[in-house]
Every structure is written in C-alpha cells, then in structure tokens.
Chains A and B, each alone.
Chain A
Amino acid sequence: MLAATLAISTLAAVFGLLLGYSAVRFRVESDPVVDQIDALLPQTQCGQCSYAGCRPYAEAIAAGEADINRCPPGGEATVLALADLLGRDPKPVEGETKPPSVAIIDEQVCIGCTLCIQACPVDAILGAAKQMHTVIESECTGCELCIEPCPVDCIYMVPIAPDISTWKWPFPAGETQSADREAVSS
C-alpha cells in the first residue's frame, strides 16, 4: 500500500515537474495566431463582420469573441481554412455572399466631394476636392464602403467579368445528382 502510494506520488511529482518545465521552456512569446488568422482573411476591410477591419476581426476570433463564419467576401473557402487552422467546426457563412465586384464612379455625376476617398480603406480612389474621382480597379477590394458616403449616389458596384485567365473549371456534378439528372433528361 505504502509502496503504491509512494510510486504514484513520485510519478505525479515527476510529471508535474515535466509539465511545469515544458510550459516554461516552450512558452509561445507573441500571439502569432492573430497573424495566421489575418493571413487567411481576404483583406477587403469591408467591416461586414461588424469589426473595423480584417485585423480587428482576426483579433476577435483569436480572443474567442467572434465566430469564424462572419466574413462573406471570404466565403466558404475562408471558413474552411479558419476551421482548419483553429480546429473549430466549419459553419455556413453568415450574411450574403456576392460575386466579386469593383466600385465604379459615374464621372459625369461626381461632384468631387472627397467623401469616398476618405472612406476607402485601401486608398484605391484617386481625386482631389472639386475634382472628379476615379477608382483604381486593380486595387479595389469591393468593400462597398464608398457607396454610403457618396452624396450624389454616383458609385456603383460592378461584378468582375469572367475572363479567360481567371476562368475556373466548375466543380463536377456529384454522384446521385447526376444519376438523377440522367434519369430526368433521358
């Protein structure tokens, strides 16, 4: 009895020391998980997640305050990647996912108020006070943050037209659906 108690106590002590040592030895200094999460977010800075940008959302996810499915521009791929990184269950994306778009300013209507320039999170709008503004399409993330401030409603979102270099083969039809469709079409 005594031997058993002693043995168990010794084991407990050894493992306790080991755990304590490894906690000190392998301490993770910074909080790289925020960086890892941020790297997976699409950086539209659109705020659809209700946070001020991608980085704040990443911090909120890391802190366990926010769910991983609140990024509509990232869509399913982002949710899956986050679920994979954090070991959480993937969930359907909250909010509507739209096709990727860019903002276009109707230059005839624009009054040059600069409000959209101030709203753009990535400085993708060019122009100065009383001068017509224009969007640098290649830099636009499609966040739509410039639409709201425009006093004359001259900004539109235009879906990016599919082009040969970015065209993707679609996901093939699966087993049962295709079997059904064969049955219907024949």
Chain B
Amino acid sequence: MHFRTQTSPHMTPAHNVGQVMRRVLYALVPGTLAMAWYFGWGVLINVALAVVLAVGLEALMLVLRRRPVIPTLSDYSAVVTGWLFALALPPLTPWWVTLVGVGFAIVVAKHLYGGLGYNPFNPAMVGYVVVLLSFPREMTLWLPPMPLSEVSFGPMQALAAIFLGQLPPGLTWDAITTATPLDLMKTELGRNLTITEIRDNPLFGDFSGKGWEWIGNWFLLGGIALLFMRVITWHIPVAVLGGLAVTAGLFWIVDPDAYASPAFHVFSGAAILGAFFIATDPVSASTTPMGRILYGLGIGVLIYVIRTWGNYPDAVAFAVLLMNMAAPTIDHYTRPRVFGQKPPRRENGGTP
C-alpha cells in the first residue's frame, strides 16, 4: 500500500489567520457599541463604510497583484484595518475622508509593501495620519458625547450628514460640534488656565471626558478578552499604558495644576484602544518579549510627549508609527537567551 508523504508535525489543529483576526473583531464589539451609544449612528456607519471599502480595495489589489483573492480575503485582516481606522474618525466624517484614509491604508501602507505580513507600518494608523494631516477641519468634527448633546441624529440623518454633507434644518456644523477633552485640555492649558479651572467644563467627567472614559472601559474589556483568548500577550498593552501613566504621573506629582493626571491620559482619546488593539498589531510590532515591553513603553512615553508638547491633541497614531520604525532594531537587540546558551553578546565560554 502506498501513501502520500508530508512533513512533520503531522498533527496540526485547524487554525488560521482568519480565526485570529475574527477574535480581534469580536473583542472590538463592546467598545464600538459603547462609542455608538455616546456618539450616535455615525460611528456604526463609519465602521460599515470603512469595512466595505477596505474589503473592496483589498480584493481589487489582490486581483491586480494576481494573488488568490478568496483565501486572502478570508484572513479578515482588511476588515480589522477598516474597523480600526473607522474608530479613529469623528462620528459624522464625510464619506470621502474615509475613502482616502482606507485607500491609503490598504493600497499604500499594506499592498505596496507586499500585503499582509510585509507592511512595516500599521495600515490603519497610516490611513488615519494621512487624513488627519490632509483634512484637519473634517477630522475635528467631533460631536459632544450623548449626555451633553442637545441634538440626536437618527440613522437617516447620520447617513445624510456623512454622504451628502447635509445637516438637519436649522443646524450648522459649528453649532453641533465640540472639542474633544484632549483638545480642550490642550487649548485651555495654552491659555494658561489651571487644570482645576479647566475641569470645571461640563465636558469632563470623573477622571476624563464624559462618555470617553466609559468607551475606554469597554475597549479595556475587549482587550482583556483578547488576552484570555491568547491572541495578544500582556507585554505591549501593559507597557503602553504603564509608560503613559508613569510619565504622566511624574509630571502630575510635580505640578498637578499644569499637567493632567495619569487617569485623564489613560482614559482619554485612543490610549486604551491603541494599547490593546493598535499597538498589538503583530505585523508591525516588536516580537521578542523584552522587545514588546520596550516597544510599548516607547509608545506610552511618546503619546504623553506629543500630547503635552506636540501640535496634536492626541498622539496614539504618531506614537505607534514612530515605534513601528524602531521595531526591527528593538527586535535585533532584545533576542532572548537561547536554551543552553549564555546570554547573547557575552559569548566567551567557560564551564557552567
């Protein structure tokens, strides 16, 4: 009797990249729903639009690059990219901003570098930075979170705003939009107000922006689920949040009226989303255990530095992209000690 041969191991559980990515998507659901609860239907429309565009562009690129379309699409990586990109957008972002951002993410940041696994930068963050720099006005159209907003947009009104740029009669963009807590903190600090004075603004909640802090908690829940599903390891999220909190804490202890508290920094903006979902993108992150900690710390510190002294109120995207650049170098210098070997770079022998 004759048999076909194959290389070992012969026993392999049925798993694939798609499974990993699908788990990431499940973990994004609570945070996304929380965001929709506070900011309305626009969030869900953004996500849906970005996902559809991402998958469509991915398919197009695969056809152009003559790669198998169905097996690659079923890795769900385009869905994750689109979804993460959409979560960074203000709730009523015009559709063409999403198109440009997703286009950059999928076409330039991912496929021009060789597709999944070969991109040195996080595609969603590249897309976000491109639209942030190109369309600063559109990217600051944040609505006040639900408990503060006077108008509520139904699904049809949100669609009209996103696709046609039409607001319900009697409303103007200036009237309905407001600054994000981070934005407000930055401008007010610029006007030499103290933190205590700034925090009197109704936009602020218990330790961060109203609504924002709760969105952060829901993303945290999803992130912990990812840890338990062993999709990610603890190193990067802990290092990112730790780096951010410790840096913020140091300055806060020195002068609590000039520097916002660590809790404010951790629960504002995209810090938690970034720590669990964006910085952990395995393709562009560091891969050694020690390297992951350094990489995460770098992101955490950079977030604080850019938020405090940089030009932009939030900094997750910039911090992640900067550390993406450093990842290969970090990996090179943080190789773990191989079994039976002495620590690297102390090679001259001797008996154990």
Contact between chains at A180 and B68 (CB < 8 Å):
yes
Residues of A within 8 Å of B67, CB to CB, are 176
Contact between chains at A183 and B7 (CB < 8 Å):
no
Find residues 147-186 in chain A having any chain B CB closer than 8 Å to their own CB: 169, 172, 176, 179-180, 182-183
The CA of A169 and the CA of B7, in the complex, are separated in Å by: 9
Expressed in whole angstroms, the minimum distance between the Cβ of A179 and any Cβ of chain B is: 5
Expressed in whole angstroms, the minimum distance between the Cβ of A178 and any Cβ of chain B is: 10
B71 interface residue (CB < 8 Å to A): yes
Residues of A within 8 Å of B71, CB to CB, are 179, 182-183
Which of chain B's residues has its CB closest to A182's CB?
B71
The CA of A182 and the CA of B68, in the complex, are separated in Å by: 11
Contact between chains at B7 and A179 (CB < 8 Å):
no
Residues of A within 8 Å of B68, CB to CB, are 176, 179-180, 183
Which of chain B's residues has its CB closest to A172's CB?
B7
Find residues 63-93 in chain B having any chain A CB closer than 8 Å to their own CB: 67-68, 71-72
The CA of A180 and the CA of B66, in the complex, are separated in Å by: 11
Expressed in whole angstroms, the minimum distance between the Cβ of A185 and any Cβ of chain B is: 11
Which size bracket describes the interface of A in this complex? under 10
Expressed in whole angstroms, the minimum distance between the Cβ of B67 and any Cβ of chain A is: 6
Expressed in whole angstroms, the minimum distance between the Cβ of B239 and any Cβ of chain A is: 31
Residues of B within 8 Å of A176, CB to CB, are 67-68
Expressed in whole angstroms, the minimum distance between the Cβ of B257 and any Cβ of chain A is: 48
Interface SS of chain B = loop
The CA of A176 and the CA of B7, in the complex, are separated in Å by: 18
Expressed in whole angstroms, the minimum distance between the Cβ of A90 and any Cβ of chain B is: 19
Residues of B within 8 Å of A179, CB to CB, are 68, 71-72
The CA of A175 and the CA of B7, in the complex, are separated in Å by: 16
Find residues 47-94 in chain A having any chain B CB closer than 8 Å to their own CB: none
Expressed in whole angstroms, the minimum distance between the Cβ of A176 and any Cβ of chain B is: 6
Which of chain A's residues has its CB closest to B72's CB?
A179
Residues of B within 8 Å of A180, CB to CB, are 68
The CA of A180 and the CA of B67, in the complex, are separated in Å by: 9
Expressed in whole angstroms, the minimum distance between the Cβ of B68 and any Cβ of chain A is: 5
The CA of A3 and the CA of B219, in the complex, are separated in Å by: 62
The CA of A169 and the CA of B5, in the complex, are separated in Å by: 12
Expressed in whole angstroms, the minimum distance between the Cβ of B38 and any Cβ of chain A is: 42
Expressed in whole angstroms, the minimum distance between the Cβ of A175 and any Cβ of chain B is: 9
Expressed in whole angstroms, the minimum distance between the Cβ of A75 and any Cβ of chain B is: 24
Residues of B within 8 Å of A169, CB to CB, are 7
Which of chain A's residues has its CB closest to B71's CB?
A179
The CA of A180 and the CA of B68, in the complex, are separated in Å by: 7
The CA of A182 and the CA of B72, in the complex, are separated in Å by: 13
Find residues 1-43 in chain B having any chain A CB closer than 8 Å to their own CB: 7
Which of chain B's residues has its CB closest to A170's CB?
B7
The CA of A176 and the CA of B118, in the complex, are separated in Å by: 14
Residues of A within 8 Å of B72, CB to CB, are 179
Expressed in whole angstroms, the minimum distance between the Cβ of B75 and any Cβ of chain A is: 11
Most buried by A among B7, B67, B71: B71
Residues of B within 8 Å of A172, CB to CB, are 7
Q: A15-45 vs B: 1/0 string, CB under 8 Å?
A: 0000000000000000000000000000000
Residues of A within 8 Å of B7, CB to CB, are 169, 172
Expressed in whole angstroms, the minimum distance between the Cβ of B18 and any Cβ of chain A is: 13
Which of chain B's residues has its CB closest to A177's CB?
B68
The CA of A180 and the CA of B7, in the complex, are separated in Å by: 19
Expressed in whole angstroms, the minimum distance between the Cβ of A183 and any Cβ of chain B is: 7
Residues of B within 8 Å of A182, CB to CB, are 71
Which of chain A's residues has its CB closest to B68's CB?
A179
Find residues 50-72 in chain B having any chain A CB closer than 8 Å to their own CB: 67-68, 71-72
Which of chain A's residues has its CB closest to B67's CB?
A176
The CA of A180 and the CA of B72, in the complex, are separated in Å by: 11
The CA of A119 and the CA of B81, in the complex, are separated in Å by: 66
The CA of A122 and the CA of B191, in the complex, are separated in Å by: 87
Which of chain B's residues has its CB closest to A169's CB?
B7
Most buried by A among B7, B67, B68, B72: B68
Q: A179-B68, A183-B71 are in contact. List 9 more A-B contacts (CB 8 A).
A: A169-B7, A172-B7, A176-B67, A176-B68, A179-B71, A179-B72, A180-B68, A182-B71, A183-B68
Q: What is the interface of chain B, defined by CB distance below 8 A to chain A?
A: 7, 67-68, 71-72
The 7 closest A-B pairs by CB, nearest first: A179-B71, A179-B68, A176-B67, A180-B68, A176-B68, A183-B68, A172-B7
11 A-B residue pairings within 8 Å (CB atoms): A169-B7, A172-B7, A176-B67, A176-B68, A179-B68, A179-B71, A179-B72, A180-B68, A182-B71, A183-B68, A183-B71
